[in-house]
Structure 1
């Protein structure tokens, strides 16, 4: 199998001439020698060719393509169309130094020959930075891996047959060429992941690992986000999983005789006595008084949160008959689905309103949510917007001004439920008719990797397939960040497990959508 090894030389790269030399050296050191080299350059062509000659002792054919001002999609298509090789080993070294292991090309060649439907091969890799060298283990591909920020690494073996079948990348794409390429190949061919227990990486990336930040998506450019949305929508249309605007909507179920109140605010909590009081009091301060608060302590009778909540029950020192009633459920296992489903069974409100135990509702939150429901009987869920606050050591909270109000305004009436599959959230707080919760039910962690994570995201997907999603664009919720929170200081294993859980839910949603469209 003859290969074309494709890489870049970019003046915008984080590495120097010596680092580029190490990349070239690793190419010519391959145990599989049947290849030619193609380099996409944006400057200094002669100097680059001289550097390549130092390592090209076998007179391997070298092709140089000047990138000019062309998009990556155009650059790659030029190579795809002109290549006479059986496959292309693409090294995405536009920004970072990438060094191949000597057997990288050979293992890709063998894997391709052993898997007739393989269209793209990707692998685990080593990341070299200030903390030393760490192995980055990637996730296996499946139909639910449609996030645009999914890590597939920096080196890909692309079969020419797969490239011919997809007809290349859309050349008007400016920011997300590899996202479009991956989705298109996945529609007709297999994406194979090569992984070993240890010391099995096919290459090394020289860069400092970036800390995880759940708010990174807020920093992405609007133009890039819209382009990625268009790429995903086109992919969903090609696999018959796209939901047309307004299609499949039906009215939400009407409340039954148990709904004697407007809303039930359900608060699952585990060992947070220092937060629960502020959460409860934010509900009791609502402009709509026909609400109840159901606190579900899932740490058992010994959980210190129980005593804090009992202060708001009849006979407690904070009990006030004139304020919305506080009810208490106690479970001895930490299962969020159990918390939501058991609370919904006894709820007296027509609608559930979300409140995490360490967060707070603004006084008009329930009022604004109810107004959205009143606007259309087909609305099966209302999602609000939130501000991010931070709690310091003294217990005081302060608005994090550097983070804008989180509106998830990428959600549009026409395409929000399709774009939802690309991103990891939909906003907060979420509100669902209690009757709908009883019919659908929150996940009880039955799905692979779902360990008290993603159950609310899954509900948004399920409900949006058959009902409209209403929105409150003003901030009606305060997310409180603190040292014990679950949205930061997350290790890579937890990130991977969470991604596995949500991607499985995406997979199930895509399969439901294909069935629904049939």
Structure 2
């Protein structure tokens, strides 16, 4: 009882010191965001733990475990491949979990491996004794007992020096691999021999052995990697490239694997990075481990930002890494100049909405090189006509008439044609701008090399999420808005509401793109997608042309959705929506079924909450 109270007291003390440090260094807002993160994560922890274990049970009971989380004897027959060296630095590891870690490697169904353990001069002799006992039992366990403590980067490099395999996998001293982890990795190598980096999904495991908090990851996303180390565990690298870049760098302890990943990614190509959408790694959540809370190692956040800043420096990118939401980082790209931006606003009546949108654009003083093109689609209300007349006197505003039936694609294509900017912004007339630097943030991404469409976090007037990126396959099988209806101040699944990341598409309600890219893919489809899905189709065309589409949470805009023309609820509109939906499914057959930025283990049935499939 006394021990339990002392343990609780120490835990509370650590939480308090962590909170105090955040408040002192980053201010009240950062303290509030971290508090929200902590409350939401803790609140959801036990519900999600129960749901996840029910899901695991169902996977096993319906036979999916054999397909998704293991290999059949037939799969293993004749499975020959490269030697994989597993790197594990140890230090004062709890004996119980140390044994479990080593046993999880011994239990691998693929046998061509070696476990390279570098003990970082653990003061407790029994740690070295346990390691030595296992090494005597199996010659594949290679050990180096360091004579001085050098921290995790030095210890990891010592383990790397022991490696003789073609690939190295990273395994922490208190975590576990699933029995089929290496076999799944080798299957990828056999399919794609030139692969350089393989990473899998992961979950956490409690001190009682209960699995929880699965991290079902997207495919390779270098944008997301600058906000969080989503790759993390289990990651397997081609050893020659790891040695070429000098292994793990000292001074980045706590985020040394993130730093390694950033440097490694510069030496390979995206097509040589493969994601296995299966949990192959159990991250143990114990006191002092990052798995039990990111506040456990606050120095890791500083190291991560240094690693990201170094990445910018090496690649001559004008950007800065800043503290982000909760434990996340934030990236701000710097513009050396302000290219001319054409803001295309389609409207029909509703002077109140249009005035708020236009005045919101004109009132910002951060980005001044822009023009506004208002495309009036048959307005008849006197208030609107008077407003348009007054706007026509402003040299920054151009008003053009579109005297045809409503066709979103045709209206915006027309607006783009008569505009003059290097960058084009498609805007609804029911937007409310609350961030002074919203235009600067969006343009700073658009002008980066290889970027296609960019969209911000859109909020409903009540502060809930309307848009945080579009996921293929949702909303009847075409596409839908992920996190729609979620509370914007909460993190969302794995913090993704607040992560800069690649997405398959962004909404046309606020979409920015270079004129060159817009014209290259032919703009919006006027013939087949007059109203719905034209933004999704446009973004997929950009992807097909080699561009990447980006969602940024670092600016938010209030969207009074469909306030002008309403929702598709009439019989006539439903027929049109169905027709456009069928066109999308036919045109993008095979693409809509797999969104690379949405894991197949996550459901497509609900937009608001991320659920297990």
- Which structure has the highest helix share of the two? 2
Higher relative contact order (CA 8 A, sep 6+): 1
